[in-house]
A and B are shown apart, each in its own frame.
Chain A
Amino acid sequence: MATTFDADVIVVGSGALGANAAYELARQGKSVIVLEAGVRIPRWKIVENFRNSSKKQNYNSPYPNEAWAHTSYDAEYIENTGSFDFRPGMLKLVGGTTWHWAAACWRYIPNDMKLRSTYGVGRDWPIDYDDLEPWYGRAEVALGVAGTEFEDQSGQGGEPFPPRSTPYPLPPEGKTYMFQRLQSRLRQMGYNFIHEPNARVTAPYDGRPACAGNNNCMPVCPIGAMYSGVVHVDHAVKAGAELRTDATAYRLEKGEAGRIAAVHYRTSKGDDVRLTARYFVIACHGLETPKLLLISGVANSSDQVGRNLMDHSGIGLQFLADEPVWMGRGQIQQGGIFNWRDGPFRARHAAIKHAPSNYVPNTAVAQRLLKVGVLGSELDRRLRDEASRWVDISTVFEMLPHPENRVEPNYDRQDALGIPMLKVHYDIDDYVKAALPVAMNDFRNFVRGMGGELVVDDTGWQNRDHLMGSVIMGADPADSVVDGDCRTYDHPNLFLATTGVIPASGVINPTLTGVALSIRLADIIAREV
């Protein structure tokens, strides 16, 4: 064939998933171009932006939000038409949204991937845990995951689970005092605390220093101990990949025999560029990936692109314990209670995860006290006291995929490049609502077990920023966008590297699974190119 291509593979998006796919392909000798809508800025500049920000609770505020590369907290950018304001933290810059995350690196357990056949609800994955297991191991090495191998991560207090073929690359960090106190007292009520495997390295690793407990994982790890996709962007570039910033993909062009022929991108100066490649990997977030497919009119013979949108929609609990627990030392989260991770109840209601947050609570405590008019030396005294006793539980539920929960291009609103913004319709489903009383009962137990004084247990539904389902994976091309390899059913050379492929949400943060799937699809492409 005389046809020449601009690259073997073009990866759209330079977040953790795209960067890992790009690195694996470049490392295996393929020519790779990575397109990124945003810009590259150094970590120190983000730290500087954060320190100088007056909006420290807004995790997107230290990051550029350009008219040609919007972040998700831009009120204009996402229009919601459902009952829930779906607004996940999403960044547009080199490295992607893993610049701010909590770095949780859970694996799914086998039943999570067989939800329909085990419990009769939701969907099954077309691959099972054993298929994915080797790539979980590689993803853990890539991200530098610190974890403990001796716990039952299904939350039942049993033998180590799920099975692993490789050890965690790093040992877990020490338990914070708060974690120890909650674990010790709530264990007596039957709650199993599990350490959270996480991508904050506990020893120097891959050019990253060990976590020093800055407690600033969100909005930015100031020292780079916590993994960010930028690590593998740099690795990919060193391995020969080309990175193009300020390059927003706006159209995938269909070619012959059902293949994708080219990607078109636009720069902030208005330049349009067309690039050809043998393979394309779309890795631009669980909302933007389906948008790009829909505005391009590709991969949607199933009519499922953008549908089945899931987040681990959650609720929160805050209370004051009867003893100082000193929240805010070390990393911002360290583990959780997984008693409701798996069991026959999943036929009736959603799985539940409760995770104590560990951010410095001073702002939340002060806001509450000021709201009720506490001032002067009394404010100082109560701030010191209550900040030491504050406990914050972040709870998530397992959603099921519903075609009505969807993201679409918003043709009524365009960004500075003339590209449609986003429109989301999202309602919390009955499967989650059926689990609410169970979670509230746990809340009461937590407060009681810690001798606590309730502050808030009716936060309403909250975003958890875990995008799933929007380009759903499945065994049947009639109701699925991609197969078990993340290859689109409609286009053999188009792969999707996004947590949007995940068809059954479970209750665990999906990034590690996304990275594992991305490395896996890169291996598949590398064999074919």
Chain B
Amino acid sequence: MRRLAAALFAAAVGAPAAMAQAPDPALVERGAYLARAADCTSCHTAPEPGSPPFAGGYPIPSPMGPIVSANITPSKSHGIGGYSLEDFSRAVRAGVAPGGRHLYPAMPYPAYSGITDEDIAALYAYFMLDVAPVHTSPPETELPFPFNLRPLMIGWNLLFGESGFVSDAGASAEVRRGQYLVETLGHCGSCHSPRNALMGEDRSRFLGGGTVGGWVAPNLTPDPVAGIGGWSEEEIVGFLRDGYVAGKGVAAGSMAEAVEHSLRYLSEDDLRAIVAFLKTVPPIPDPSLARPAYDWTEARPVAVTEYETGNGPMQADLADSGTLDGAILYNGACASCHGISGAGTPDGAFPSLTANTTVGATNPANLVLTIATGVDREGANGHAFMQTFGEELSDAQIAAVATHVASRFGNPDVAVDAAAVTELRAGGPPPWILAAAPWLFVAGAALVILIFVALLGVILGVILGRRHAAA
């Protein structure tokens, strides 16, 4: 404890040089683990292979446009090397950088607001002492008006800036640890909780399912149909660690990144704590769903003789790749790995398309985007990879093959059209605030609304603050 205090002191006075003389390896190591659990690298390392860790440059998809992550290496000129512990803490937990510059909530500071002081100190020690400084700056984030006005975040923060979620004092230590991992470090709600009209997390539907860049982040509540109530503890642990569990699902998109950069490094105890907590979250049912997405277990493949006549294509047809026949597209593009019957391989290297949440989901977004962008994920059990088909198939062909796959191996009521594919590949349908913003602007009402939002935020903030105080 004395060493921690010394490190904290050194950190607080902003003297990394002094720390370098007496770094506490245990503190740094703990900070490294926490940075994994908080998945800092997924967003703060550029996506190109070989990009320097934490140097920023990752364009985080948002409905308002890409938000480019910052360099959080300890470079004094281009990163956070000049931050004091207090600066670091305020940026991570309140979304305010030194100088009063407001971060966009693509940085999940509302979730991170719950990070303990000790963990903040460990994270600070790790970033200052164990991360290589990179002296470059990523491109600036350029959002359209009015979202380019960062002070708007003041009002937004009053509404949504803190998680406001308090752990149940009566819960077990394991559940409380799980809650800390899920809510605070893992910021699972950033994707898995729905967002309201003002892009804040809808706390009343915590982990009830959200969207990110067109992908569906599924309902993680214990509801047996809409959520993961039908998943065993082993299955959830396996999914988090490997990104794949037979008979249930495959992690792709941002979840693949979460597995690759964060979850596969968590201890067995922490993974089990996550499951323990998830079981306690209030279930959020969806009355429109009749059965869980993984519960489509029967394959109904088209007979191969229907599309492989063996007569040979005519010369003129050899170069004609315009077909919209989903069975033909599946045979040429998918069946070499997933099989004509959709069964994949027994070892899961090529997953079965039946009993697969991506295929059986009522919302086909993840199926479409998996076909378009593939899968590239390092899990604890190795490297899972599916090549992208977004260049070799048109949007109409992706729609046709997705519809074929859903109808033959998943939910037969699902159908996708080319327009939906185009919209999903562009990041999904725009939220109300983005759709409304230009109109509001033209009507001259934007300012009024924004003032209203800010005022509302202040009022609510005061009320919530009182509640906190009362609690």
Q: Which residues on A are within 8 Å of B, measured CB to CB?
A: 39, 41-45, 47-49, 51-55, 61-66, 93, 203-204, 207-210, 212, 214, 222-224, 234
Contacts and interface: CB of A to CB of B under 8 A. Distances in A.
Contact of A64 (B311, B319, B336): B319
B383 A65 contact: no
Contacts of A223: 336-337, 387
Contacts of B464: none
A214 to B, nearest CB: 6
A52 B312 contact: yes
B313 interface: yes
B170 interface: no
Given A41-B321, A42-B392, A45-B321, A207 B315 contact: no
A203 B388 CA distance: 16
Contact of B332 (A51, A65, A204): A51
B147 interface: no
Interface in B370-401: 376, 383, 385-389, 391-393
Contacts of A55: 312
A48 B325 CA distance: 12
B442 interface: no
A209 B312 contact: no
A209 B386 contact: yes
B308 interface: yes
A47 B332 contact: yes
Given A212-B337, A222-B336, A39 B387 contact: no
Contact of A54 (B311, B349, B389, B393): B311
Given A44-B333, A93-B319, 20 more contacts: A41-B319, A41-B321, A42-B392, A44-B393, A47-B332, A48-B331, A51-B331, A52-B310, A52-B312, A54-B311, A61-B312, A64-B315, A64-B319, A65-B315, A203-B383, A204-B383, A207-B387, A212-B336, A212-B350, A223-B336
6 nearest A-B pairs in the assembled complex, by CB-CB distance = A44-B332, A204-B385, A222-B336, A44-B333, A42-B392, A48-B332
Nearest to A42: B392
B385 A210 contact: yes
Interface in B307-342: 308-313, 315, 318-321, 328-329, 331-333, 336-337
Given A64-B318, A223-B337, A51 B312 contact: no
B243 to A, nearest CB: 14
9 contacts: A39-B319, A41-B319, A44-B321, A44-B329, A45-B319, A48-B331, A48-B332, A54-B310, A64-B318
Nearest to A208: B387
Contact of B313 (A42, A49, A93, A203): A49
Range of interface residues on chain B? 20 to 34
A66 B320 CA distance: 13
A234 B391 CA distance: 10
Contacts, number: 81
Nearest to B309: A52
Contacts of A47: 331-333, 336
A62 B336 contact: no
A294 B282 CA distance: 79
Nearest to B349: A212
Contacts of A51: 308, 331-332
Contacts of A208: 387
A314 B331 CA distance: 36
A153 to B, nearest CB: 28
Contacts of A214: 336
B321 A42 contact: yes
B387 to A, nearest CB: 5
Contacts of B391: 234
Contact of A42 (B337, B386, B393): B393
Contacts of B311: 52, 54
Contact of A53 (B313, B319, B329, B388): B313
A53 B312 contact: yes
The residue among A42, A44, A53 with the most chain B CB atoms within 10 A of its own CB is A44
A204 B318 CA distance: 29
Contacts of A54: 310-312
Interface string B124-144: 000000000000000000000
A230 to B, nearest CB: 10
A42 B389 CA distance: 10
Contacts of A210: 385
Contacts of B328: 48
A43 B315 contact: no
Given A203-B383, A204-B383, A214-B336, A52 B388 contact: no
The residue among B318, B328, B389 with the most chain A CB atoms within 10 A of its own CB is B318
A55 B310 CA distance: 9
Contacts of B309: 52
B314 to A, nearest CB: 10
A214 B345 CA distance: 13
